[in-house]
Amino acid sequence: MAPAHASVSDGSPPAVSVIIPAYNYAHYLPHAVASVLAQKDVPFELIVVDDGSTDNTPEVARALGECIRYIRQPNAGLAAARNTGIRNARHDYLAFLDADDLWRPEFLSRVMATFANLPPQFAVVATRETYVDADARPLPRKCLDDRGDCEITARDLLLKSQFPADAVVVHRSAFEQCGLFDETLRSSEDRDMWVRIAARRRIYRIADRLALIRRHGGNMSRQADRMKATGRRVLQKAWAARVIPRRRLTVWLQALSFHFFQAAWMYHEEGRPGPAVRDLFKSALVWPWFLNPHPLNEPHLFRLRSLRHFLGARRPKPA
């Protein structure tokens, strides 16, 4: 086995550049910064990239003082803001935290301790996440993936997203080898990045839920049409790059099936039963549930139960 990731000479973990892209989240930004400042046992720098906010983000950032490096740029999107942070980062390990999300105090120490015990082929260590409401209270959420600590492969990432961008630390060499975030993608740019890295390096995920992801009315992830379109582009890019050989058609069909399944639930959550039912049927046509369901980690007849749920849901009353 190759030697593990090295620490600095005194035995302490390497420093991390933490990048917070911020766009019109002035209310949440101090909480995100506080959760980074609460990290223990790992040296870090904290970079806030203001992506052309039109609220009082500049004033809030200035009030945070010297604990952050503040960079402002014209609005160019989340991927571009992350890339600006990468270009300005001073350290070899980079972590990302959206301005409306949080870390638990042990996030960096757990991730960097894991890095120290992995061979250098591993360029990403991720954790799992907990979804919370606007006030950081945990939300109920079903989880189909009950694995413990494990390696995450390109196949896993093609089937579905395995962790949010807020829950990773990446070695800089991965970006040098695979490129930066795709700025033409206005969402799903993180999943595209991890797929590209997994095609050339290795990724490890810790089972602990150390990132807190807020769900509120302003989340980009609630824009079903955009998320569906960009998710499809991620799959198309991976197909064009032959991330997995095209002869493994079952993997690609399973990935497309789960893409439609996720789109169906996004439409359902937006109160749009027509597109929800349509995409659920597409999911079943591409990869029927009576074929081996285990690659999707799907409970028995889960999609049929989803259809009943969609059809039985009450439509929102017109405003």
> With bands split at pLDDT 50, 70 and 90, how would you rate the model's confidence at 307?
confident
Query: Which whole number is the average pLDDT over 207-233?
Result: 86
Query: Which whole number is the average pLDDT over 110-118?
Result: 97
Query: Which whole number is the average pLDDT over 122-148?
Result: 87
Each residue's pLDDT tens digit, 258-278: 899 899 989 988 999 999 999
Query: Which whole number is the average pLDDT over 255-259?
Result: 92
Length of the chain: 319
- Token representation of residue 238: 């991976």
- The reported pLDDT for the residue numbered 318 is 45
- The reported pLDDT for the residue numbered 22 is 97
What's the sign of the alpha-carbon dihedral 90, 95, 101, 106? Answer: negative
Q: What is the pTM of this model?
A: 0.89
- The reported pLDDT for the residue numbered 2 is 42
Query: Which whole number is the average pLDDT over 218-230?
Result: 78
* Selection from 191, 160, 169 nearest residue 122 by Cα: 169
- The reported pLDDT for the residue numbered 292 is 55
Q: Looking at the predicted structure, is the pLDDT value of residue 317 above 80?
A: no
Q: Looking at the predicted structure, is the pLDDT value of residue 296 above 80?
A: no
Each residue's pLDDT tens digit, 27-68: 999 999 999 999 999 999 999 999 999 999 999 999 999 999
> With bands split at pLDDT 50, 70 and 90, how would you rate the model's confidence at 282?
very high
Percent of the chain exceeding pLDDT 70 equals: 86
**What domains can you pick out in the chain, each with its CATH number?**
16-220 (3.90.550.10), 245-312 (no CATH)
- The reported pLDDT for the residue numbered 12 is 76
Considering only 103-117, 195-209, 293-307, which range has the smallest mean pLDDT? 293-307
Name residue 222's amino acid. Answer: R
